[in-house]
Amino acid sequence: MIKLVPQQQIPPLENGDRLTRYEFERRYQAMPRHQKAELIEGVVYLASPLRFESHAEPHGHTITWLGVYEASTPGVRLGIEPTVRLDRDNEPQPDGVLLITPTARGQSRFSDDDYIEGAPELVVEIAASSVAIDLHDKKKAYGRNGVKEYIIWQIFENKLDWFSLQKGEYVSLEVDAQGIIKSQVFPGLWLSMLDLLAGNMQQVLTVLQLGLNSPEHQIFVERLSSEGK
């Protein structure tokens, strides 16, 4: 007979705990109410309450932009705050991920218990400022595990960085002459950065539509379709 360990004997998660991913998940699942918790480089981080203008609204704008891209790109999927099993010491819950599906030969997969395992192609984080963990230990973990593109919006500085993983290091993607950043992993994913920072979502989506109408996006969609057969 299997003897079950009473839930109250499992220690609760606390900020700063140093745990393996297995122990982190065990304690997380035993919590009486689930709040956002992440394991970054073996250290537990519990989320604070989120403010509207400094997190929730920018998060919503970013997800709207990515969601329109997903809707126009079969073989690509968008997730909001999914648990991502990166490695033994890292299990983040990024604000958003955009990934190529496993059937279309994406680099991550879905576990039997419905978590992401491996590195999504693109990760988005909304950070309070440049001193946040998102630009330091979390960035290192994402790069080491092969997240190809990493977008981080630093609210206090009103700044957005879009990093591309090149030869194992993150390099900032630059805006072109029209003020647009273009993904190197997801053709047609175009961003008018200044409009996003200003909350001008109509123009953000107008620029995105130009990307979705581009020949490179059509080629990408056809490639994903052929990979999925």
Q: Note the pLDDT tens digit of each residue in 78-120.
A: 999 999 999 999 999 999 999 999 999 999 999 999 999 999 9
Least confident window among 2-11, 34-43, 102-111, 203-212: 2-11
Instruction: Copy the structure tokens of residue 104.
Output: 């279309």
At residue 160 the predicted structure's pLDDT band, cuts being 50, 70 and 90, is very high
Q: Tell me the per-residue pLDDT of 199-213, one tens digit each, with 9 for 90 and over.
A: 999 999 999 999 999
From the list 61, 55, 52, 99, the residue with the least C-alpha distance to 191 is 61
pLDDT of residue 84: 96
3-state helix, strand, coil in the chain (%, to 5): 35, 25, 40
Domain boundaries, the chain: 8-45, 51-227
Region 29-47: what's the mean pLDDT? Answer: 79
pLDDT of residue 30: 82
Region 195-200: what's the mean pLDDT? Answer: 96
- How far CA 27 is from CA of 13, 31, 49, 71, 158, in Å, comes to 6, 6, 21, 36, 36
Question: Quick check: 2 pLDDT over 70?
Answer: no
Cβ atoms of residues 14 and 31 within 8 Å: no
Topology of domain 51-227, CATH: tt1808, chain A (3.90.1570)
Instruction: Copy the structure tokens of residue 21.
Output: 């991913």
Instruction: Copy the structure tokens of residue 148.
Output: 């190809």
pTM of the shown model: 0.85
pLDDT of residue 5: 47
pLDDT of residue 150: 97
Which residues are within 8 A (CB) of 206 and not within 5 positions of it... i.e. 6 or more apart? 192
Cβ atoms of residues 37 and 19 within 8 Å: no
pLDDT of residue 156: 87
Question: Quick check: 34 pLDDT over 60?
Answer: yes
At residue 53 the predicted structure's pLDDT band, cuts being 50, 70 and 90, is confident
pLDDT of residue 153: 94
Q: Tell me the per-residue pLDDT of 142-155, one tens digit each, with 9 for 90 and over.
A: 999 999 999 999 98
DSSP 40-54: ETTEEEEPPPPPIII
